[in-house]
């Protein structure tokens, strides 16, 4: 038997004798370890539920992942989180061996009115890729939802939040097909999100509308070229089987 093994066995025998002679201390040590392990488990469970799980009304699917961008201005600088550009979204979506679907969104502030031009609401909106709801696996409460882009023209349609559909239109089914004014621009409601849905993540400011990215320049009165070059997209993906 090696010297190291004899030392280890000696330490083990000493520890066992100590625990046998000091039962109260042993009980306290075991209790402290159990409490520490339990506390860590509870903390991780809370962190996981709060930050790692998808938002309300989004299926908890292991194939659904968040994509993170990181950059550093110099070789010696620390890495910093960053958003994605349209070009990066397209490049990632082309990686079919890795991703079955890639979708994204960016946020904006809007003023929305009902069809009777009353009840203006200053609110939060998300401009999303057309496959946003499909990639999340979210079924709409009403309507067909956003359609895939077919050209360069802006798609002035929207999916409305459930609570706003009830407030402005009297219900989800009644809202579909209606026109609302978004920053004074007519937009057609093509769907209503399910109750409690607030986006891809938890604890997001609940949008009143989800609109196609192609509508962002028109609604926000922004330069399409500037939007195409800017890194403003948060992305998620569905992993390939």
Model confidence over 19-28: pLDDT tens digits? 677 666 666 6
Owner of token pair 């409490």: 35
Quickly state the pLDDT bin for 66 (edges 50, 70, 90).
very high
Phi-psi region of 206 (alpha: psi -120 to 50; beta: other; left: phi over 0): beta
d(CA 93, CA 97): 10
Has residue 31 got a pLDDT over 60?
Answer: yes
Query: What would the pLDDT profile of 163-205 be if each residue is shown by its tens digit?
Result: 999 988 889 999 999 999 999 999 999 999 999 999 998 877 8
Question: What was the pLDDT predicted at 182?
Answer: 94
What predicted TM-score, i.e. pTM, was given to this entire model? 0.76
Stretch 153-157: mean pLDDT: 92
CA 68 to each of CA 45, 79, 233: distance values in angstroms, whole numbers, following the listed order: 22, 12, 10
Q: What is the mean pLDDT of the chain?
A: 83
Give DSSP secondary structure letters for 173-239.
HHHTT-EEEETTEEEEEEEEPPTT---SSTTPPPPSEEEEGGGHHHHHT--HHHHHHS--BEEEEEE
Stretch 150-167: mean pLDDT: 89
Domain boundaries, the chain: 3-52, 64-239
Neighbours of 174 (CB within 10 A): 15
Of 144, 135, 119, 143, which is closest to residue 199 (Cα–Cα)? 135
């Amino acid at each position: 038997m090696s010297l190291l093994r004899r030392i280890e066995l000696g330490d083990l025998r000493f520890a066992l004798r100590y625990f046998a002679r000091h039962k109260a201390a042993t009980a306290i040590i075991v209790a402290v370890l159990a409490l520490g392990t339990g506390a860590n488990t509870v903390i991780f469970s809370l962190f996981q539920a709060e930050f790692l799980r998808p938002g309300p009304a989004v299926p908890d699917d292991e194939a659904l992942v968040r994509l993170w961008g990181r950059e550093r201005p110099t070789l010696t600088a620390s890495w910093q989180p960053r958003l994605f550009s349209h070009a990066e979204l397209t490049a990632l979506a082309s990686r079919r061996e890795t991703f079955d679907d890639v979708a994204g969104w960016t946020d904006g502030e809007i003023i929305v009115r009902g069809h009777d031009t009353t009840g203006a609401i200053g609110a939060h909106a998300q401009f999303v890729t057309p496959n946003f709801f499909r990639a999340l696996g979210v079924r709409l409460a009403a309507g067909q939802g956003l359609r895939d882009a077919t050209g360069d023209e802006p798609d002035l349609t929207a999916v409305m939040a459930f609570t706003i559909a009830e407030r402005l239109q009297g219900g989800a089914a009644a809202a579909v097909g209606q026109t609302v004014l978004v920053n004074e621009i007519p937009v057609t409601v093509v769907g209503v999100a399910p109750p409690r849905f607030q986006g891809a993540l938890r604890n997001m400011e609940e949008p009143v509308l989800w609109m196609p990215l192609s509508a962002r320049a028109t609604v926000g009165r922004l330069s399409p070229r500037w939007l195409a070059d800017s890194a403003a997209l948060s992305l998620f993906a569905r992993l390939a089987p």
